[in-house]
Every structure is written in structure tokens, then in C-alpha cells.
Amino acid sequence: MRERQILDAAVQVFSRYGYHPASMDEVSEVAGVSKPMIYAYLGSKEDLFTHCIRRESARLLDAVAAGIRPELAPDMQLWHGLRSFYRFVHEYRDSWTVLHRQALAVGGTFADEINQLRQQAIELVAVLVKSAGSRAELADQVQKSGEGLAVALVGAAESLADWWIDHPSVTEGMLASWLMNLVWLGFNDLVEGKLWTPSDPAA
Amino acid sequence: MRERQILDAAVQVFSRYGYHPASMDEVSEVAGVSKPMIYAYLGSKEDLFTHCIRRESARLLDAVAAGIRPELAPDMQLWHGLRSFYRFVHEYRDSWTVLHRQALAVGGTFADEINQLRQQAIELVAVLVKSAGSRAELADQVQKSGEGLAVALVGAAESLADWWIDHPSVTEGMLASWLMNLVWLGFNDLVEGKLWTPSDPAA
Amino acid sequence: MRERQILDAAVQVFSRYGYHPASMDEVSEVAGVSKPMIYAYLGSKEDLFTHCIRRESARLLDAVAAGIRPELAPDMQLWHGLRSFYRFVHEYRDSWTVLHRQALAVGGTFADEINQLRQQAIELVAVLVKSAGSRAELADQVQKSGEGLAVALVGAAESLADWWIDHPSVTEGMLASWLMNLVWLGFNDLVEGKLWTPSDPAA
Amino acid sequence: MRERQILDAAVQVFSRYGYHPASMDEVSEVAGVSKPMIYAYLGSKEDLFTHCIRRESARLLDAVAAGIRPELAPDMQLWHGLRSFYRFVHEYRDSWTVLHRQALAVGGTFADEINQLRQQAIELVAVLVKSAGSRAELADQVQKSGEGLAVALVGAAESLADWWIDHPSVTEGMLASWLMNLVWLGFNDLVEGKLWTPSDPAA
DNA sequence: AATGAATGAGGTTTCATTCAT
DNA sequence: TATGAATGAAACCTCATTCAT
């Protein structure tokens, strides 16, 4: 459909230049569609950007959700989720850039939408952490900081995604491994020679 | 001096609107200085932004460096560094926003400067990790992923800084604690009831 | 076409104020076209001025070339060329002003273009002088100063064109006559009562 | 005196950039005097330019007048006047540029002043022509075109002056010679081998 | 349904000119 | 007296947005 064609172009252009410097002229050129069409289908520049964010957010959520196996152990769920996330970032780099970099920089409504998306990711992670801890009684302080831990983990994952752009030789499995080792085992264990490995290496 | 007055205003305005939407008119209004003065003291808009980034980068580095005690154990150094970092973010929120959000979004030279700053932080952390691991022989895979771990830790710290803005009731000590627990102990230990605490609680 | 409409206005405005003081606002007002149209059709102010110069140069060359009859005697060719020139100056005064006064004053690329135009005129005249002199052997010194004589003649013609603006009662035929008498006969002959007159008065 | 220092700088700057693009900042810099001083001594930019024109006009007139020997024959007077003129142009190129190119381009009052100067030159030449012709009865048509001839001669002289800038190997004597041959003898005589030479070669 | 053509509004930058010292 | 410091005004240029076809 025309709408998709336009959105694809918009994501590409917004990703490259950012919201404000991006020009509707360039979007129309890349989309191969005249400007009045853009306004007819998607509304103003602001509307267009909102549509971009919404579509890419949904894509990202779908991609991650599709990778998770709820029947597995918490650490394996996290592991699969991370790999799905990095596969998405790899395949739709422009989407990721728009969501993570450009939308937040604009602030206002856009940043709010992105923060909601992040919140969903954080809560998803928080559930995993909680279920992992349900075997034992988590220390009080940990209980309280549950969300904080999730925020940190999500942030770490995002930063590695950015860093990946400049270090493309790394695979998405390595990225996910590092994170698992870092947050599941911690430095403390690492220096003692422990390593986290997927219980199901084939996955 | 006039220069500082202008830079303060510029950081504030760039932080709020981002580089492109920010107008020199608004900078001049906030600074209480006419536009030609800005051009006389700091040059073009691009120059002005560069000056902002440079000054705030230096401030951030100084703040973190000032908080580190090289004679302490690695984990304590990290702990102090993180607290200094969060104190800086708290005290100079606009500086942090300009550096972390706006400069990266603009891309080009600006993003390069920020990435250099990040790289410095990452290397600093990498040194700590290495010194912590020197007691034992780090697993090969850890050796290779050293920088990745540091990237992840730095990213986690940054994300928590952003998240803090929307959750101001948390203290900088709590943020640092969470991170220490997360990366030093890891979930694995946490669920077993272990907790990381500063060896020198007074610090 | 729109382009012509804009160029006409630009020539008028540049002619009146000169390149630098002329404002794109005024050009757009005179052209009855909004400023963005000017930039869309003709580019920057510099581009616009270049287009003006090019068009008017071509017009001037065409006008003079159209008036010359190559089959006539050299003096008659000069006579006709001069009259064509003055007719052009009369009909397109703004064009002449832009070419002769404003473009030269700006210097740089503009002046270069004008000087090339002048050079063409000079060479044209030089050819006439040479063909007139071919019947006899021109004195050596004359040979060497051929271009200088042409420069002087062209300059004299230009100056009379300027002077004409303030003395509009004179006809273009009179101007051409004076020049012919001056350069073809010279004062020396004039004071002896000689006069140059077109051999074909009807022309 | 301060005034002279400023005027020298102004002539230099106006000559190089033209009236409008020239900046008071540059004048003050070249003059080694602060801007408020310029305003105190010479008034506004317009006033400053007027002063420049007036001073250089006077200089030019003086230079030419000083070279003329009223007791000589008319052609010799013209010859001496032309050489003085070219010597002035050579020695004070900036003055000449300001007067001939820049002032006329600005138009308005400035052009008027320059035109008055030209008129003086023209009348001076017209007197010579008239005195040369007084021996015989000039043809009626010549009488009427007297001023026109003078205008043409002056224009030719000016154009050669401009042309000289790009052909510096020519001497001022050659320039004056060409003009004398052109206007005093005319092409007609030149092709017959006649040449005008100063009756007093030492001069 | 689709677009070429057009513009109002606003942004960066410069410069003649003047206070306060 | 002489100047460093300051600004109001205006110029060039661009872009989101809309008619008329």
C-alpha cells in the first residue's frame, strides 16, 4: 500500500537526519510519492513521525515477543529475548535508530511514547528477574530495586546495540552472552572462572 | 565572564530543544545577551554547540575523576566513580542531557566527540575489571569480551541516569548500589541472598 | 515564463541599486513572485546575478551583431555597429547599466565575465581597423598599438553611452557620428573642415 | 593628522571591496584607529565615502592641472595632460578605482559628484579642442558636437586607464601616444602613414 | 486520485552605529 | 580623548504546508 511505502521512506530519512533536519521533500523523493500524498495519507510531519514510531515500536515488540519461549527457565528466556532483540536491531537498523536515538532527542510526545515502550521492556525483564528469584527469598533490598535492575539491564542491552553499529564483526550471540555473563553471574563470579552458558546450546 | 554566561544559557536551551530546533534567539534571550555577542564570543551555532559539548565533557570527566580513589580496591573505585557520576548528573542535569541525548542525535562531529568521551569511560571501567581479575586467571572468553562488558556497564549506568530523571525520589547511592549488585555480584548471587555492600560504609 | 519574469525584475533592481544593496525581497516584489520561487528557479543571489549578466551579455552581442553588414566597407561596418550598440543601450538601459556599471564594480567572477564581453567587442573593432589599414602598410607603431586603439574606441563608445543617459535629447545617430568623426578622421582633419559622413546615408 | 590616516585606509578598503561590502571594522583595522574615532572625525559611512571622493577628486584635478603648460600648443597641452593623468592613475591606483569604479556604481549623490568631476575634465578638453579649431572655422556640425567629442576622448582615456591595470607593461607615454594618434590624427591619417609625435620630445 | 507550483514564517548571520568607561 | 563592548535592524535562505489543475 501507499502508506507503507511512505512510512518506509520516512523511517529511512528520519533515521539518517533526525526529526527536525529531515525534510518532507526528501521523504517524498525517497518514497517516490508527491508531497501532497504524504499529507493526505499520514498528515503533518509530526503525525508522520508519530506513525513511524508507532509502527517500529510494534515491530520491535513483536520481534522480541516472537523469540521468547515462556516454558523455559528465566535465564533462557532472557537469553532468547536478547538474541531476538539484537536480530531485530541488525535487520532493521533504521527502525532502531529512529526509536532509540531520534525520537528521544525530540522530546515531548515522542519521547513519552518511547519511554512507554522501554517501560514495557523493563517490566518484561522484571518479571523474569522475579520468577528467577522466587525460588529463594530475595533480599529486601533486592525486592525494592527490582525495577532498577531491570532498567540497568535494558540500558546495557541498548548501549551494546549502539556499540554494535561501530563493531559489526561481533555476532548477536556474543552480545547476548556478554550480557548474560555480566548480569546473571556478575564480575564476582567471572573472576572466579565461572561462566554462564545456555543450557540448551542449540537454541 | 560573558562567555560562561552564554555557555550556561546555551547548554540549557540545547538541552531542552535539541541542537536543530534550538534558536539563537532563545539562547540570547536566556543568556540576557544580544545575538551578536554570542557570535562575537562563541562563533556560529555549530561552534557554540561544540563549545558546550567540550565544556560539559570536561566537567563530567573532572567530576568522575575527582571522586575516584586509586588506592582503593577495584569494586570500591567503581562504587565511588558511579556515585560521582550520578552526583554530576543530578547537579548538572542539562549538561548530561546535552551530552547523552542531544549531541548523539545530531551525529557527525558532535557524535564523534561524545563517542570519544564514552570510550574514555569504557576504558576506565575496563581497567578496573582487569585489575579485579588479576588475582585469578580470567576465563578466555571473558578476556575477549572485556570491552563488551565495560560497554554494557557504562550503558547500564547511563540508562539509569536517564531513568532517574523520571524517578527523582531515588538517591544516587541507591543507583550505584543497584549497579554494583547487578554487575559485581550478578543475579545469580543475588537470588542466593548475597549482597554487595561498600567495604567502607562511611565513604 | 516565470524565469524571464524574474530575470527582468532582477535586472531592473540590480541596475538601480547594484549587486550588494539590492535585496532579494525587492526583486521578488518587483517580479510579483515570492522569494522561494526565485531560489527555486534561479538559485542564490549570486546565481541570479550571473544569470542576469549572461542573458544581457547575449542580448547585447546579438543586437550589435544583427546590425553589422559584413559586405560593407570597414568604416560603414563600424558606423552600423555603433548605431546598433546605441539602440540597444537606449532600449535596454537597465541591461546596459547592469553590465557596464554594476557587474564591474562587484569584481571577482562577474567582472571577469564582463571583461570577456569587452574583449570580444575590442577584437571585433580591431578586425575592422586592420582591414581598413590593409590597403596601406600601417606604420609599425600603429601595428603594435592596434589593440590599444580598439580599447580606446570601445571605451569612448561606452563613455558616450553613459553620458547619453544625462543628455537624452541626442540621437543615437549623432553619437555614432561623433565617434566616427573623432576616430576615423581625427581632430586634425576636423579643424581643416573635413567631415566623415556615411557613404550610404539611407542606412 | 588622524583624519588623513583614516581617509587613506578608507580609500584602500573602499577601493578593494566597493562601498557596500566594505566594513567599517576593516577600515578601522587598516587605519589602526578605533571605530568610534572614525565616527568622531569623519561621521557616518556615507560621510566617510564622500570625504574620500572629495579628497581624491581634488588630488586628481591637481595632478592633471600641475602637468599642463598653458603656453604650449593645444595638442601638446593635451599630451601633457594625458600623461599627468596616467601618472596619477599609476601612483594612486586605489584613488582611481574608488573614483571611477566604486563611486559610480553606488549611484545617488556619489555618482553626481563624480559626474561633476568628469564634467570639469570634459570642459578642459573642450577648451583645447576649441582653441585648436580657432584657426579655422569649424564646421557647424563640429561646433555642435564639441562636447560630445570631449566626452568621447575622456571616456577613451578612462577606459585605457582601466585596461592598463591588466596590462602593466605598457608605459604611460604609450597610452598617451595612442590616444593622441587616435583622436588627433584619426584612423584615416594613420592608414596613410601619418603619425602624431610630440613637438618637444623631451617633455 | 495525484501533483506541480507557490508561499508565509522563521532561522542564522552580519554590520553600521553607539554607550560606558 | 579614545575604546571595548554591545545591539537593532535587516539580509539571505529554507521548509512545512497548501492550492489549482
3-state SS track over chain A = CHHHHHHHHHHHHHHHHCCCCCCHHHHHHHHCCCHHHHHHHHCCHHHHHHHHHHHHHHHHHHHHHHHCCCCCCHHHHHHHHHHHHHHHHHHCHHHHHHHHHHHHHHCHHHHHHHHHHHHHHHHHHHHHHHHHHCCCCCCHHHHHHHHHHHHHHHHHHHHHHHHHHHCCCCCHHHHHHHHHHHHHHCHHHHCCCCCCCCCCCCC
Tens digit of each residue's pLDDT (9 = 90 or more) over A129-169:
777 765 545 555 555 667 788 888 999 999 999 989 888 99
What is the distance between the alpha carbons of residues C133 and B154, in angstroms, rounded to a whole number?
Answer: 89
According to the model, what pLDDT value does residue D198 have?
Answer: 66
Q: Which positions in chain C touch D49 (Cβ < 8 Å)?
A: none
The full set of domain ranges for chain B reads 2-190
Neighbours of B72 (CB within 10 A): 16
| CB spacing of D159 vs C155 below 8 angstroms | yes
Supply the mean pLDDT for chain B: 87
Q: DSSP character for B138? A: P
User: For residue C5, what are the contacts with CB-CB under 8 A and spacing of at least 6?
Assistant: C31, C32, C33
Tens digit of each residue's pLDDT (9 = 90 or more) over B96-140:
999 999 999 998 999 999 999 999 998 888 888 777 765 545 555
Range among C180-189, D46-55, D114-123 with highest mean pLDDT value:
D46-55
According to the model, what pLDDT value does residue B154 have?
Answer: 93
C-alpha cell at A45: 510531519
What is the distance between the alpha carbons of residues D75 and D82, in angstroms, rounded to a whole number?
Answer: 11
Nearest C-alpha of chain A: how many angstroms from B1?
Answer: 30
Range in B9-13, B37-41, C178-182, D90-94 with the lowest mean pLDDT: C178-182
According to the model, what pLDDT value does residue B194 have?
Answer: 65
pLDDT at B74 over 90: no
Q: How many residues does the structure list for chain D?
A: 203
Range in A21-35, A57-71, D79-93, D142-156 with the lowest mean pLDDT: D142-156
According to the model, what pLDDT value does residue C195 have?
Answer: 65
A182 touches strand E (CB under 7 A): no
| CB spacing of C153 vs D156 below 8 angstroms | yes
Nearest C-alpha of chain A: how many angstroms from B2?
Answer: 28
A2 touches strand E (CB under 7 A): yes
Nearest C-alpha of chain A: how many angstroms from B60?
Answer: 19
| CB spacing of C139 vs D18 below 8 angstroms | no
Domain A50-190 falls under CATH 1.10.357.10: yes
Tens digit of each residue's pLDDT (9 = 90 or more) over B85-98:
999 999 999 999 99
Across the A:B interface, residue pairs with CB atoms under 8 Å apart total 180
A106 touches strand F (CB under 7 A): no
pLDDT at B166 over 80: yes
A46 touches strand F (CB under 7 A): yes
Q: Which positions in chain B touch A128 (Cβ < 8 Å)?
A: none
Tell me the percentage of chain C whose pLDDT exceeds 70.
85
**Topology annotation, domain B2-190:** Tetracycline Repressor; domain 2 (1.10.357)
Interface of A with B in 73-132 (CB under 8 A): 101-102, 104-107, 115, 129, 132
Neighbours of C100 (CB within 10 A): 21
According to the model, what pLDDT value does residue B182 have?
Answer: 80
Chains C and D in direct contact, meaning 3 or more beta-carbon pairs closer than 8 angstroms: yes
Residue B86 identity (one-letter amino acid): Y
Mean pLDDT on D53-74:
92
Tens digit of each residue's pLDDT (9 = 90 or more) over C140-161:
555 566 777 888 889 999 989 9
CATH superfamily of D58-190: Tetracycline Repressor, domain 2 (1.10.357.10)
Level-2 CATH architecture, domain C57-190: Orthogonal Bundle (1.10)
Neighbours of C4 (CB within 10 A): 11
